[in-house]
Amino acid sequence: MEALLYLGCTVPIRNLNYEVSARLTAKALGITFRDLEEFSCCGFPLKSLNVEDTMVTAARNLALAEREDLDICALCNACAGTLNEVAHQIRTRPEIREKINQRLRPIGLHVEGKVRVRNFMRLLWEEIGVEGIRKAVTRPLEGIMLAPHYGCHYLKPSELNVGFDSSETPRTLSEMIGATGAEVVNYPSLLDCCGGGLLGMSEEVANAMAARKLVDVSKTGAHALVLVCPFCNVMYEGQQKKIAKSTGLDLKTPVVYYPQVLGLALGMTSEQLGFKLNRIKPASLLKIVEG
């Protein structure tokens, strides 16, 4: 299957380990990603200032994808959520569609809301599936314990995720982790929001939100926390040192992206999968897998 890879602003600059591992694993599983050079920001950062600005910025990307007649796969939860939501509005609300098209006219674009937007996990879940992954695994991650973090915009608003996953009892990421042969670790704050959305407003509150999950996960003895979103990464990996310092806790929870662990299970090397960019090294995980 073929899809347009939507990178957004953050992943291709700050999270090359995520991008590189997503591209490699997709390819190995028979998914063809095409790049569209003209893709730009999804519009999410404008939403607090002006919702309509977000809609036109998102719609620009949707219109470009429509011209290619291909669906979109996004790596960032917030990008996927924003594009998906705007596509939904364009499809279901003619007055919004009209307004957006008026604003797209000066740049020569038109949007109908035809393309489907999925995040990378949903694409894997629906196109490859747990069984498909299990069959493709050549190096099962036996003895590895992994804790999933879905992220709010992965699961919510739930009206955008009908037929995919449940916001109260999510299972997709957990089962996809299980398909690699690793043991999925459960913990009380599984559904917590990372707090990334307010880091710019109040670092103190944001850190307090992320702290609970980091503490829970470190207590489980998991080898790593598994993410699918660069924003969640800002909190759990980027802020972890500061959180440890301010709370006086001994935190050292490695944070990895799902396609990185998937890639290991598919026999790829940690070097190929960009592990050297992980800031808190998952040393014991890699030792078990690669010796």
Partner 1 sequence: MTKINLNRLDPQFKNRVAEQPGGEGLKACFACKACTAACPIQPLDKRYDPRKIIRMVLLGMKDQVLGSDFIWLCSSCYSCQEVCPQNVRFTEVMYAIKNLAAQEACIPPGLMAQRSLLRKHGRLYEVGEFENEKRLKFGLPPIIEHPEDFEKLLPDQSVGV
Query: Over 108-144, what HEC string results?
Result: CCCCCCCCCEEEHHHHHHHHHHHHHHHHHCCCCCCCC
| Residue 75 binding partner 1, by CB under 8 A | no
Q: Whole-number minimum distance, CB 69 to ligand SF4, in Å?
A: 22
DSSP string spanning 35-62? E-TT----SGGGTTT-HHHHHHHHHHHH
Crossing angle between the packed helical segments 203-220 and 240-247, to the nearest 10 degrees:
90
| Residue 203 binding partner 1, by CB under 8 A | no
| Residue 56 binding partner 1, by CB under 8 A | yes
Of 177, 180, 179, 190, whose CA–CA distance to 220 is shortest? 190
Provide the 10 A C-beta neighbour count for residue 156.
Answer: 16
Which x/- pattern over 161-190 shows residues binding ligand SF4 (rule: CB under 6 A)?
------------------------------
Of 69, 67, 61, whose CA–CA distance to 41 is shortest? 61
| Residue 65 binding partner 1, by CB under 8 A | no
Given partner 1, ligand SF4, none, residue 200, with its beta carbon under 5 to 8 Å by kind, binds partner 1
Q: Residue 111 and residue 63: Cα distance in Å, rounded?
A: 5
Q: Which of 3, 4, 5, 8 contacts ligand SF4 by CB under 6 A?
A: 8
Is 79 or 256 the residue whose CB approaches ligand SF4 more closely? 79
Q: Which of 79, 173, 217, 264 contacts ligand SF4 by CB under 6 A?
A: 79
Q: Whole-number minimum distance, CB 136 to partner 1, in Å?
A: 21
| Residue 117 binding ligand SF4, by CB under 6 A | no
Q: How do 117-119 and 183-184 pair as beta strands?
A: unpaired
Q: Which window, 15-23, 149-157, 244-252, 269-277, contacts ligand SF4 (CB under 6 A)?
A: 149-157
Single-letter residue type at 179: A
Of 67, 80, 149, whose CA–CA distance to 111 is shortest? 67
Which x/- pattern over 18-47 shows residues binding partner 1 (rule: CB under 8 A)?
-xx--x-----------x-xx-xx---xxx
**Could you list the residues that contact partner 1 (CB under 8 A)?**
7, 9-10, 12-14, 16, 19-20, 23, 35, 37-38, 40-41, 45-53, 55-57, 60, 96, 103-104, 106-107, 152-153, 156-158, 167, 192-193, 195-198, 200-202, 205-206, 208-209, 274
